[in-house]
Structure 1
């Protein structure tokens, strides 16, 4: 290998693992220990911070530096970065322009074979329906993340929320636990010190205040993990299960029901029949959701679902009667 190729190979090896014995590097590159030392010095001159370790098994370690030097990626890493950058334009974080610039930079230095792979991977990143209204600034994410890591109380102004007594309390003081992205939105899961309870906050609605508060000891979430906790919150439940679950027989083939069943359980119940077990946050909501299949149905269980269909039918009948307005 010429010097340039050898340096690139050496840099790639140093990025693969934390410590490299000098003898192993010399063997992998088929060069002398002295040449390894010279090449390391060349990389240091380019801005790479490479520490030397002493002893019989002494070697080299690539450390983080004060500036970002050129990086090397294997084929899969390069494609993964390009896909992530393209998806980042609809992440809800204010990095759209930076993501597009970074993607352009990455593609410029890609070998043609990788550009062809990336161009062949066609997909469309669809933004949220609420557009810029849910935009989150990168500085806000960094501030929240830093408070979580440091275990420091976070104070912030929140979009006006009515309290139980009818007053408004926009300022909040919480113990931040988790920063989560879900369905195009960013959420903060935290222990609300004012309400003495777990709360989930939309990050695009909060403005951090400085400085942060005192340190705190982390608390255990009510469920096994943050994903399960959020799932329960979105379902209006205290567990990952829907608070209302029922079973019906739909007069449609299972193949036509399955694509639209969501997290429901679909079972083939014979010719043009499907047994569907599904859940929702209320019985009325469950009954209404089952009507989306545009098919006759028979309620199997429970009786509460039958009552919900009766109430829904009465509401529909009232809505079908024209009424004078104004």
Structure 2
């Protein structure tokens, strides 16, 4: 029998809600989250078990013109591990009888609710993006490799340019910045259309967005309702400061009028 977990009430509620949300959303980890939720419930102390049993959360996803296909959790972990270890991946792509692809995995990212691998295609000698839900991995992995410099110098620029039909994202948005959010990448990705979301440690992510002005970009980031660390540029940090002063004045006027 598993020993009880040492959770306080808030941690138990947060974990239960997160697993319930994951179990009712697309993305390929729903069944795993449901099993994890069952396991966690078994090892909770009786007092907390009664409290979390009263929770019932269903995530309603906004409609899209092209629902994202689920991604196998094992594939996601295996591809991420290969990118971290700098090991060549071999995989079948989009089915069919074509030879296995060989690629140097560099980054696993999300775009418009889908998971992608940014990789150097060894057979085509060029950079490519591969949808993880279309990959069928072969084992074992290939040899280790030295990472190559990405076009544009960063993964956000490359991916943005790729999905907007150009090889370079420069000039697509007048203002473009990067922040670190204290939210999991999977959570932010569900509400991010044209931004680039990358995992950045436990329950944190790196978000790159573009907009028509620096204040509008700062406001777009603020809507995630999480602690924010501005990576750059300085114009984005200045825009947050301007918005903070503006919001403070608005709150002061509201208290005076009330």
SS of structure 1 residue aligned to 2:151 = coil
Match of 2:80, SS? helix
**Higher RCO (C-alpha under 8 Å, 6+ residues apart):** 2
TM-score, normalised via structure 2 length: 0.53
Partner residue in 2 for 1:143: 78
Distance 2:123 2:36 in 1: 42
Kept in 2, the 8 Å contact 1:156–1:208? The answer is yes
- Contact preservation (8 Å) 2:88, 2:141: yes
CA contact (8 A) 1:177 1:190 kept: yes
Give the aligned partner of residue 152 of structure 1.
87
Query: 1:134 and 2:63 equivalent?
Result: no
Structure having the higher Rg:
1
Q: Which residue of 2 aligns with 1:226?
A: 155
Task: State how far apart, in whole Å, the 2-side matches of 1:198 and 1:211 are.
Answer: 22
How far apart are residue 192 of structure 1 and its match? 0.9
- Whether the 8 Å contact between 1:151 and 1:176 is mirrored in structure 2 is yes
Count the aligned residue pairs.
176
The CA distance in 2 between the partners of 1:97 and 1:160, in whole Å, is: 24
Change (3 A) 1:77 1:191: farther
* Unaligned runs of at least 5 residues, structure 2: 175-208, 214-258
**C-alpha distance 73-158 of structure 1, shift in aligned 2 (>3 A):** same
Contact 2:173 2:212 in 1 (8 A): no
Q: Say whether the 8 Å CA contact 2:90–2:142 is kept in structure 1.
A: yes
Residue-by-residue CA offset, 1:77-129 (whole Å, 9 max, x unaligned): 33332333233232411x3223224335546747389649966x775245765
224 and 107 in structure 1: CA distance in 2 versus 1, 3 angstrom threshold: farther
Q: 1:98 aligns with which of 32, 37, 45?
A: 32
The correspondence of residues 63-102 of structure 1 with structure 2, limited to 5 A, is: 70-89=4-23, 90-93=25-28, 95-102=29-36
| 2:139 is equivalent to residue 210 of structure 1 | yes
Give ranges in structure 1 of 5+ residues lacking alignment: 1-45, 47-67, 162-167, 246-261, 267-326
- Cα distance per residue 1:20-40 (max 9 Å; x no partner): xxxxxxxxxxxxxxxxxxxxx
Distance 1:148 1:244, change over 3 A: closer
Indicate if the aligned counterparts of 2:173 and 2:210 stay in contact, CA closer than 8 A: no
Residues 137, 264 of structure 1: alpha-carbon distance in 2 compared, 3 angstrom cutoff: closer
- Separation (CA, whole Å) in 2 of partners of 1:70 and 1:240: 51
Pair 1:177 & 2:106 matched? yes
C-alpha spacing 1:155/1:124, structure 2 compared with 1 (3 Å)? same
Find out whether 1:265 has 2:212 as its counterpart.
yes
For 2:166, which of 220, 237, 243 is the aligned residue? 237
TM-score of the pair, normalised by structure 1: 0.44
Q: In the aligned structure 1, how far is the partner of 2:22 from the partner of 2:142?
A: 32
SS in 2 for 1:134: coil
